Structure 1
Amino acid sequence: MESAASPSGSSHAPSAEPSNERAARAFWLDSPGSGDLRQVVLAAPSGDEVLVRTLYSGISRGTESLVFRGGVPESQYAEMRAPFQEGQFPGPVKYGYLNVGLVEEGPRELVGRTVFSLFPHQTRFVVPASAVTPVPDTVPAERAILAGAVETAVNALWDAAPLVGDRIAVVGAGMIGCSVARLLARYPGVRVQLVDADPARAAVAEALGVDFALPADALGGCDLAVHASATEAGLTRSLELLAPEGTVLELSWYGDRRISLPLGEAFHSGRLVLRGSQVGRVSPVRRSSRTYADRLALSLELLADPAFDALITGECAFTELPSVLARIASGELPGMCHRVRYE
């Protein structure tokens, strides 16, 4: 995850109702498994900053569950730091990076615009104007919270560089896997199959315009398998689905968990490749010609596609966020992207 300076002028006072126009509330993880809403006092934006009122934020289910449970390894504290994170792992920490809001103050060309930013769950905030990206008029604000997932998918496909006519399995029908599958569905002549252990994900695959299979029924002989299930079984099955000299592109992050793989089977004789991909850096094949801003702007343009609405499977009010995140982290509340609504 790319780093950026945290916004200044905030304090961490106990929860209370905001009493002035520059007050806001933010979600803080106090300690693993426990979070609450705290009051934040905002400084007035300077000439090159914007004041944004949040409309929606999204819960990045896999990463934020790890953070909520305190599962970020100490060796990865720096790598996992969100752009506008405050506090430190394992807590207290303010974390999140899928935010869509309305610019209330700032440069004239941005005031009144709906924008996406990598800001945590907070009702209002002040950031540099360069840290927000206008949402295209063709993309509803409710859908724009998926920009982070689509950006990860764009970077993954830059890494994977699939070819016309490739046979591809996407293993793991979560928010990231589904975003990859939908983008691959646009490639000419490509056979795409979305693979997941949950048969209910077949309906999502249909909405995305791709084939679906349970792991045991997935088609083999793949040139590429994109793995996004964050499970040992899913990664093992991805390797099994490859044709000789095929590649598994690994998008899952396991936090502090260790996994085992059958590298003594066909891995060497088949000259298979296991490669990691992560959105924190622009893919090397595009790094000389695309910036982070270019990649995010492209991702927002791609969200004009209404098929992505299938990835939003739940919604709650901001005031419900502490209890909802606990239910998501425990597995009690399944789904893909959970949208947070702000009054």
Structure 2
Amino acid sequence: MLEGRVPASETERMRCPHQEGEFPFPVKYGYALVGRIAEGPAALIGRIGFALHPHQSAAVVAADAVSLVPEGVPPRRATLAANLETALNIVWDSGASLGDRVLVIGAGVVGLLVARLLSRIAGVEVTLADADPAKRAAAEAMGAAFAAPHSLPADVDVAINATGSDAGLDMAIAAAGLEARIVEASWHGEGTQRVTLGGAFHARRLTIQSSQVGRIPAARAARWTHRRRLATVMRLLEDDALDALISHEVPLAEAPARLPGLLKEPGALGILITYDAQGA
């Protein structure tokens, strides 16, 4: 989306709540707004809330569109809620279970959150791979081993591609064991991706599962709502290790000039856009 690569067929599906404008540009887009509730039902005033809303210093939303941030969760960490919701869906789609060996390729914020959730399942061994060695500390803070792309583990039970690249998917296929599951967690955008299926893909009877946060996985959809999933995410935010995933803070006025460079900076992770001193 940052590069304007939203296919025409996806412009409606890719809309976020409270979006203004149309893809590719100009568009007001975002889904990770955290702030203090100033007006509304008496029980909510003064509390810190999270909403799927574009970046801005103040917003008016329906009361039922706000999720209260638990008292022990810092507002800056609560900005990870939308990405953590995506990560939870990816873990569900992976089918990972006790004692599995799991490879996550791509140590961006989503990949790191996936690794953190997996590391909390008893006995699961998580390896997080990335070409940027500066991501090692963050991977280890999430409870995962770190690997460079040329030294991936083999015969894993689950391989998850969170790189946004077809090269990452090829790595997942190469690392997957017999009848293993591969989760394609990336959004690739407009264009053509090439995937190597001529090697051991068929002989190993591998499965590729797409994951997209817009829908609850079928095995849970009869019981889970989006509201229940987000409430679960709010509880999962009660984890101090997640603070390592915010690497920069940028005032809103400086964001247009600074964001392009920060997105390419080694070790960069979550970039928190801040407002005035009275905001969250």
TM bin (shorter chain):
over 0.9
- 1:336 match: 269
Aligned to 2:253: 319
Residue 272 of structure 2: SS of its match in structure 1?
A: strand
Instruction: State the superposition RMSD in angstroms.
Output: 1.4
Partner of 2:43: 109
**Equivalent pair of 1:116/1:145 in contact (CA under 8 Å):** yes
User: Aligned to 2:146, which of 194, 204, 212?
Assistant: 212
Q: Secondary structure at the match of 2:181?
A: strand
Q: Look up the SS of the partner of 2:2 in the other structure.
A: helix
Using the alignment, how far apart are the partners of 1:315 and 1:218 within structure 2? 32
Letter in 2 for 1:173: A
Q: What residue number does 1:30 align with?
A: none
Q: Verify the 8 A CA contact 1:182 1:209 in the aligned structure 2.
A: yes
Question: Which structure would you say has the larger Rg?
Answer: 1
* 1:298 alignment partner, SS class: helix
Gaps of 5+ in 1: 1-66
Distance 2:66 2:18 in 1: 12
Aligned residue number for residue 56 of structure 1 = none
- The aligned residue for residue 188 of structure 1 is 122
- What's the CA shift string for 1:50-96, capped at 9, x where partnerless? xxxxxxxxxxxxxxxxx232111111101110111011111221111
Q: Hey, what's the Cα distance between the residues in 2 that align with 1:267 and 1:273? A: 9
Decide whether the 8 Å contact of 2:132 with 2:266 is kept in 1: no
Structure 2 length-normalised TM:
0.95
Q: CA deviation at 1:328?
A: 4.9
Alpha-carbon distance, 1:333 to partner? 7.9
Paired residues of 1:159 and 1:284 also in contact (CA < 8 A): no
Identical aligned residues as a percent:
45
What amino acid sits opposite 1:231 in the alignment?
S
Matched, 1:306 2:243: no
User: Displacement of 1:204 after TM fit?
Assistant: 0.9
Report the Cα distance in structure 2 between the residues aligned to 1:328 and 1:296, rounded to whole angstroms: 29
3-state SS, counterpart of residue 222 of structure 2: coil
Q: Structure 1, residues 169-210: CA drift from partner, whole Å, max 9, x if none?
A: 011110000000001111111111111111111111121121
Assess if the C-alpha contact under 8 Å between 2:93 and 2:209 holds in 1.
no
Q: Which amino acid is 1:75 matched to?
A: S
Give the drift of 1:309.
1.1
Distance in 2 between residues matched to 1:173 and 1:269, nearest whole Å: 29
Secondary structure of the corresponding residue to residue 154 of structure 2: coil
**Structure 2 residue 131 is matched with structure 1 residue 197:** yes
Q: Greater shift after overlay, 320-329 or 243-252?
A: 320-329
- Aligned AA (1:257): G
CA distance in 2, matches of 1:290, 1:304: 21
Contact kept, 8 Å, 1:327 with 1:333, in 2: the verdict is no
Q: Is the 8 A contact 2:32 2:81 kept in 1?
A: yes
Contact 1:68 1:326 in 2 (8 A): no
**How far apart, CA to CA, are the structure 2 residues paired with 1:328 and 1:145?**
18
Matching of residue 154 in structure 1 with residue 114 in structure 2: no
Pairwise CA distance, 1:163: 1.6
Q: Flag the structure with higher strand content.
A: 1
Q: Does 1:98 align with 2:32?
A: yes
Report how many aligned residue pairs link the two structures: 276
**Local SS of the residue matching 2:234:** helix
Give 1:257 deviation, angstroms: 2.9
Structure 2: tracts of 5 or more residues without a match: none
Equivalence map 1:223-302=2 (5 Å)? 223-302=157-236
Q: Distance in 1 between matches of 2:182 and 2:2?
A: 29
| TM-score with structure 1 setting the length | 0.78
Match of 1:125 in 2: 59
Residue aligning to 1:141:
75
Say yes or no: does 1:86 pair with 2:20.
yes
Which whole-Å CA distance do the structure 1 matches of 2:203 and 2:114 have between them?
A: 29
Return the letter of the residue paired with 2:11. Y
